[in-house]
Structure 1
């Protein structure tokens, strides 16, 4: 079987349609379809089947995708080794959510400097269910989830837990709560909340607060940038939940939340049997996380 066609099949498994595969691979949809038909002839079984207006993988197709992962990983390791002989350098594509990148990426870049590994980092801020599909475009995706959310369990995804970061309540420094270091969850039932978009770990903690108090938190604003949220809180327009290491604004005071476990878990996702450089960067992320917790 041709490796290029196996790669197209894997792209289809990752992206879900011939059109999106064609866009990603800079091909026409008809060319993608033709190559997948050729691969089915090479395999001797149908790999795709009609599902209403869509096309999906057959059981044989899903089984072949798992083997394609093995084949492509082996080819990539061989290519990496040969590239190392030619230039002494290799590239790792790393995607991270913004506050995680601020905390961990500088240390990763410090440790890969001079190692022959070029880390091409980019920001990717998506809900936890959308993190694994991003491996279609990245070697490693660093994501986060509420600690009560089960980790992803997929045969084509390897998960490395990096750290657990507590989530604190932040209040304005001149608020009634600011003289304290902790607050009971039941005391916050009548507060206005500044939160993130639904589906992110911090908002999941708000759902837990609702379950404990029996009162739905009154969310008045939703923002994705923690710096913006802190500014709103500092101006005394509400309170917020912010991961402990992301608190920066001098006008807010973090308080430990009592009565409900509140934390987000950092994870690094990658394909099984990764290249040596990918495994090395995952190791560097683990070291950065350990140092962040140690500080």
Structure 2
């Protein structure tokens, strides 16, 4: 069986539609369909079946996807073995970040990796961490952030490298009655209007954790995803917010830790299993760990 056709089948399992596979592989949907039909003939069993206007994998198709993962991982390892003969990692590594992570990590990553012979091509994409497996069809490394209480496993097809634990503080305008406190208790924040983010993103998951742990659901009156916009709303007195501690503020606002509950985001770099064996990707992961250590002070 052709390895490229096996990759198409895996992409179909990840993305769900022939059109999406065509977008990822820069092909036409009809060309993808023809290649999948050829793979089905090679396999000698039915791999796909109609599901409304789409197609879905049969049981045999699902089994073949598992084998495709093994085959493609073996090819990655073979490529890594060939790369290991080079004395210096080189080439290009594509990396996706959530926006505030890109602001914090991308520039030093590009500079540091370039000095060691690897070109990093970075993107900032604001999607839930759970989308990392789909993003890895387009990127070598996906840097995500999650509520630290989220312990959902990535599964055997993916590897995660922990980078940083970043506490979340309450963001207040300077004139707020609670702005002078060294620490705040959640009970002091009852009845406050909060600025939140779109459902499914990290901060929204943290608000859900607060509700689960305390029985008090914060009253979210506005939802914006851009931290700069969030700062403007807090500064205008529209509400208070949660802000990661190492995000650089553009406005004169007050950050105050919460004393009676630990709130933090966990930042990690996700790759396909086996991909971290490639010297260029290993170098990028090393650079990310070093930069994260400088951010939180664990590396002097």
Assess same fold via TM > 0.5. Answer: yes
Deviates more, 1:221-230 or 1:24-33: 24-33
Deviations 1:17-59 (A, max 9, x none): 1122123333332322221122122233332233454322233
Q: How does 1:98-113 map to 2 (within 5 A)?
A: 98-113=99-114
For residues 243 and 107 of structure 1, do their structure 2 counterparts lie closer, same or farther at Cα, with a shift above 3 Å needed? same
Task: Show the counterpart of 1:277.
Answer: 280
Which SS does the other structure have where 1:254 is aligned?
strand
Which SS does the other structure have where 1:136 is aligned?
coil
Instruction: State the alpha-carbon separation in 2 of the partners of residues 276 and 59 from structure 1.
Output: 36
TM-score normalised according to structure 1 size:
0.89
**1:170 Cα deviation from its structure 2 partner:** 1.0
Instruction: State the alpha-carbon separation in 1 of the partners of residues 60 and 283 from structure 2.
Output: 33
Q: Which runs of 5+ in 1 are unaligned?
A: none
Instruction: State the alpha-carbon separation in 2 of the partners of residues 88 and 108 from structure 1.
Output: 15
Deviations 1:44-81 (A, max 9, x none): 33322334543222333233333333433454566685
Q: How does 1:1-295 map to 2 (within 5 A)?
A: 1-75=1-75, 81=82, 89-274=90-275, 275-294=278-297
Counterpart contact for 1:73–1:273, Cα < 8 Å: yes
Instruction: State the alpha-carbon separation in 2 of the partners of residues 31 and 250 from structure 1.
Output: 52
TM-score normalised according to structure 2 size:
0.88
Counterpart contact for 1:152–1:159, Cα < 8 Å: no
**1:283 Cα deviation from its structure 2 partner:** 2.2
What is the number of equivalent residue pairs in this alignment? 294
For residues 34 and 14 of structure 1, do their structure 2 counterparts lie closer, same or farther at Cα, with a shift above 3 Å needed? same
Instruction: State the alpha-carbon separation in 2 of the partners of residues 76 and 211 from structure 1.
Output: 42
Deviates more, 1:174-183 or 1:24-33: 24-33
Deviations 1:220-279 (A, max 9, x none): 221111122122212322211011111414421111112322111112111111132122
**1:15 Cα deviation from its structure 2 partner:** 1.4
Instruction: State the alpha-carbon separation in 2 of the partners of residues 44 and 30 from structure 1.
Output: 21
Question: Any runs of at least 4 consecutive aligned residues in structure 1 with deviations exceeding 6 A, and if so which?
Answer: none
For residues 215 and 89 of structure 1, do their structure 2 counterparts lie closer, same or farther at Cα, with a shift above 3 Å needed? closer
Deviates more, 1:277-286 or 1:166-175: 277-286
Counterpart contact for 2:10–2:69, Cα < 8 Å: yes
Q: Which runs of 5+ in 2 are unaligned?
A: none
Instruction: State the alpha-carbon separation in 2 of the partners of residues 101 and 107 from structure 1.
Output: 10
For residues 290 and 112 of structure 1, do their structure 2 counterparts lie closer, same or farther at Cα, with a shift above 3 Å needed? same
CA RMSD in angstroms comes to: 2.5
Which SS does the other structure have where 1:284 is aligned?
helix
